Amino acid sequence: MKKSSPVSRSGRFSSGPAADVAKFTESISFDWRLWRHDILGSMAHAAMLQKIGILDRGELKAIVQGLNQIGQEITDGKFRWKEELEDVHMNIEAELTKRVPAGAKLHTARSRNDQVALDVRMWLRDELVDLNEEIRMLQRSLVDLGARFSEVIIPGYTHLQRAQPVYFAHHLLAYVEMLDRDAERVQDCFQRTNVCPLGSGAIAGSTLPLDREFVALELGFVDSKGRPRVTQNSMDAVCDRDFAIEFCSLAALLAVHLSRLAEDLILWASSEFNFVKIADAYTTGSSLMPQKKNPDIAELTRGKTGRVVGNLMALLTLLKGLPMTYNRDLQEDKERLFDSVDTVRATARIVGAMLQNTSVNVESCAQASSDPSLLATDLADYLVRKGMPFRQAHHAVGLVVGFAEKTGKKLNELTTAEYQAIDKNFGSDIHSVFDLQKALALRNLTGAPSGSQVRKQLARWSKILPSAKSRPS
């Protein structure tokens, strides 16, 4: 069975594509979501065509009205997308031309090659703005949780072994820093996405005197001074998908950061750690074991990282062997890009909400951080303050740890005499090293976990980040 495809194939082809070809090559099933930007791009292009005398005022008005009407029907769910029209561009243009004769002039000096590059850039720009906001809100949730439990101390870990004590808030603030770099990358990606490719045509621009800067201004492709930003090479403009790859790359890194946070939360919520309690509404039960409360949001956050990393690999692989310029392969960019955008945006939102519904088990944290061996390094620093070279101090404290282990005592349970038997530089004040609050207060370098440094960081972020109240519902 053969169906005809009215827009692009008229003239050269004696028949439309076979039904199975249409099914294989269509992109309308996923690129329909570019419709809003496709319409905005067409309106700007039409306004420019009127400015250079290709459309008259009446034609422009009819085109804009027709496009608005189609936009309304799409919003209302009344527009019928047709697979045989391949993609969002052809669907909208064909419908417009059916209603408005001047619609047939809309594609003047335009190709779907520069049109799709335009639409995806515009779509991604909007998503980047939203994602930036969502990352900010997630940072805010971390800062709020840290501030709610600002006195809580936990063991910090290396090799998943207890290492040194830190404020719980200090641990959370590490993620705030990671997310801040992610947000910077989002803004950076915006800069390179925000360049207008329209006017590049299929590959070689147009013989008609288009005003590319006018279109760029209409569509907000401007620099910080409001000057239009247009692509500088027509071939590059139609085949370049760097901006999509950059996005998928920053999304992969963001997903990795979220995955590490999720892993910490999973560990902390386990009975073995028992540092945090995630509210019931943000956990799930087991269908078999009645006692179970599972951190599924955190687990899915960790799990979804696989697909986001995979999307980046897919796009890099898609591009690597393509000859210049546009090849239909490029149509495969959209589902990967959409999926990365959807996944990281949804994940950032739900993790933020989960953190707002998470509390700290103060008792368990106090219990875990009271382990005096967490302060073994502080014992070595004590000896360094007495003038001992650090390597020697490390050795002396190693002997202390070995002795404590052998005698079944904790480091703070050894007597001054026992310390002095190992090294006479240990003084009668040696037990003051085990005062946890004082030990942390001494770690007062920039970026270190003393109470005053952590408070300073919490205050700094509270000022920078949007308040939780401004959160969109």
Q: Which residues bind ligand ARG (CB under 6 A)?
A: 27, 31, 87, 112-113, 116, 326, 328, 330-331
Tokens standing for residue 374: 């967490």
Closer residue to ligand ARG in complex, CB, 86/134: 86
Residues in contact with 334: Cβ distance below 8 Å, sequence separation at least 6, in sequence order = 27, 30, 31, 34, 120
Q: What minimum distance in Å lies between the beta carbon of 109 and ligand ARG?
A: 15
Closer residue to ligand ARG in complex, CB, 50/325: 325
Q: What minimum distance in Å lies between the beta carbon of 82 and ligand ARG?
A: 14
Are the CB atoms for 165 and 154 separated by under 8 Å? yes
Q: What minimum distance in Å lies between the beta carbon of 341 and ligand ARG?
A: 16
What are the start-end ranges of the E strands in 344-438?
358-360
Q: Whose CA is closest to 131, among 309, 313, 255?
A: 255
Closer residue to ligand ARG in complex, CB, 193/331: 331
Q: What minimum distance in Å lies between the beta carbon of 231 and ligand ARG?
A: 16
Whole-angstrom distance, CA of residue 88 vs CA of residue 123: 13
Q: What minimum distance in Å lies between the beta carbon of 71 and ligand ARG?
A: 19
Whole-angstrom distance, CA of residue 22 vs CA of residue 28: 11
What are the start-end ranges of the E strands in 320-429?
358-360
Q: What minimum distance in Å lies between the beta carbon of 214 and ligand ARG?
A: 24
Residues in contact with 280: Cβ distance below 8 Å, sequence separation at least 6, in sequence order = 293
Whole-angstrom distance, CA of residue 164 vs CA of residue 377: 8
Closer residue to ligand ARG in complex, CB, 87/127: 87
User: Which residues are identified as catalytic?
Assistant: 159, 286
Tokens standing for residue 87: 């993609």
Tokens standing for residue 193: 């996405």
Closer residue to ligand ARG in complex, CB, 202/388: 202
- Expressed in percent and rounded to 5, the helix, strand and coil fractions of the chain are 65, 5, 30
Question: Cα torsion at 72, 77, 79, 82 (round to 10°)?
Answer: 140
Closer residue to ligand ARG in complex, CB, 26/381: 26
Question: Tokens 């070689």, residue?
Answer: 204
Report, in angstroms and rounded to the nearest whole number, the Rg of the chain calculated over CA atoms. Answer: 31
